[in-house]
């Protein structure tokens, strides 16, 4: 703990090491910019986020090389501060012992100046768009469909959307998208659906990999399945299976000491209760098919996706 505190509160930041890392970072960025996977991510950000949003900032070799050691030191003082820090202690130690040691080495750490704003601004729903990113190394299309959802992590419908996603995907052949897209029609090799939410924004994403000839067919079938989630209740069997999948994942996500600590830190960073996994289990257990349908009807826009296709260069 003494060594950790010394590194955090009194970083050396030697000039020669700074020059080496800055040069290495600039070289890495230079090589990354033309990478098709990077261009895919940029296309998604530009389609989803409004001009001026922090998520659209792009690092370039020029911006990296312009950073000075003084810039870095000022940034360190401004952002590495006790009022933005959470320390998780996991192991064979009592709360009293942990507090005593932490206060000994971190107790003199004081706040300096106003805290920086660390919450991203809200974003409006995006317009639908489609972009192709050529990737000559690929033989298949890698398709990402994503859209901004005007809600945050604290909205009660978060749980209904996650439960619905486990009806759509999350159980391989036992779920709708795998069944419809792969098992029945053979359109895709893989398909995944996810919903992520933070303090101020949320993103709904469907991704799949397929032969280029099947990309549009798979897209249309995904839209059909999403529309069905909005107009029809999922079956009792689907609801029970999705709940079982989610409830089993809760203890598995915290099956090691590192996982427990990571969970505490993640929840603390967005002001969720530390026992959120237990609370979420009750939410999922209590949800009804009607609530899932209503959440998809309210929040998901099947015609509002930004679609980015990374695949072989068209001949």
Report, in angstroms and rounded to the nearest whole number, the Rg of the chain calculated over CA atoms: 23
Alpha-carbon gap, residue 259 to 261, rounded angstroms: 5
Distance of CA 78 to the CA centre of its chain: 25
CA–CA dist 301, 303 (Å, integer)? 5
For the record, the structure tokens of 177 come out as 């998208």
Specify the pLDDT at position 315: 58
Structural contact between residues 201 and 148, judged by C-beta atoms closer than 8 angstroms: yes
Q: How confident is the model at residue 189 (pLDDT cuts 50, 70, 90)?
A: very high
Q: If you average pLDDT over residues 243-255, what whole number do you get?
A: 92
pLDDT in tens, 127-149: 999 999 999 999 999 999 999 99
pLDDT digits (tens, 9 = 90+) for 94-107: 999 999 999 999 99
Joined together, the tokens standing for residue 96 give 């009293």
DSSP one-letter code for 218: H
DSSP string, 292-315: HHHHHHHH--TT--EEEEEESPP-
Query: Who has greater pLDDT, 77 or 225?
Result: 225
Q: Residue 113 corresponds to which tokens in the numbers above?
A: 């100046």
What structural domains and CATH numbers belong to the chain? 2-106 (no CATH), 129-311 (3.30.830.10)
Least confident range from 13-27, 40-54, 170-184, 289-303: namely: 170-184
Q: What is the pLDDT of residues 282-310, one digit of tens each?
A: 999 999 999 999 999 999 999 999 999 99
* Token pair of 255 as six digits: 């099956």
Sign of CA dihedral 3, 7, 8, 9: positive
Tell whether the model's pLDDT for residue 171 goes beyond 90.
no
Q: Please tell me the number of Cα atoms within 13 Å of 241 on its side-chain side.
A: 17
């Amino acid at each position: 703990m003494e060594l950790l505190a010394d590194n955090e509160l009194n970083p050396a930041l030697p000039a020669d090491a700074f020059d080496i890392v800055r040069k290495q970072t600039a070289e890495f960025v230079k090589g990354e910019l033309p990478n098709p996977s990077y261009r895919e991510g940029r296309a998604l950000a530009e389609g989803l986020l409004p001009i001026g949003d922090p998520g659209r900032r792009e690092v370039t070799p020029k911006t990296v090389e312009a950073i000075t050691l003084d810039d870095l030191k000022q940034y360190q003082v401004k952002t590495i501060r006790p009022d933005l820090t959470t320390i998780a202690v996991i192991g064979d130690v009592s709360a009293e012992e942990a507090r005593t040691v932490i206060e000994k080495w971190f107790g003199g750490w004081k706040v300096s100046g106003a805290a920086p704003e660390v919450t991203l601004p809200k974003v409006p729903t995006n317009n639908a768009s489609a972009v192709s990113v050529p990737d000559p190394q690929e033989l298949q299309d890698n398709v990402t469909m994503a859209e901004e959802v005007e809600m945050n992590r604290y909205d009660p419908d978060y749980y209904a959307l996650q439960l619905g996603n486990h009806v759509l995907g999350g159980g391989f052949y036992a779920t709708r998208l795998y069944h419809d897209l792969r098992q029945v029609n053979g359109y895709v090799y893989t398909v995944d659906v996810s919903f992520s939410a933070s303090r101020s924004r949320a993103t709904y994403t469907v991704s799949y990999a397929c032969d280029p000839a099947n990309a549009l067919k798979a897209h249309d079938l995904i839209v059909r399945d999403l529309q069905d989630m909005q107009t029809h209740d999922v079956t009792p069997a689907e609801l029970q299976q999705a709940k079982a999948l989610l409830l089993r994942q809760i203890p598995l996500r915290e099956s090691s000491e590192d996982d427990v600590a990571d969970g505490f830190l993640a929840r603390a960073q967005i002001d969720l209760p530390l026992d959120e996994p237990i609370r979420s289990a009750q939410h999922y257990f209590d949800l009804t098919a009607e609530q899932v349908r209503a959440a998809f009807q309210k929040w998901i826009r099947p015609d509002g996706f930004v679609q980015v296709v990374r695949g072989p260069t068209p001949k």
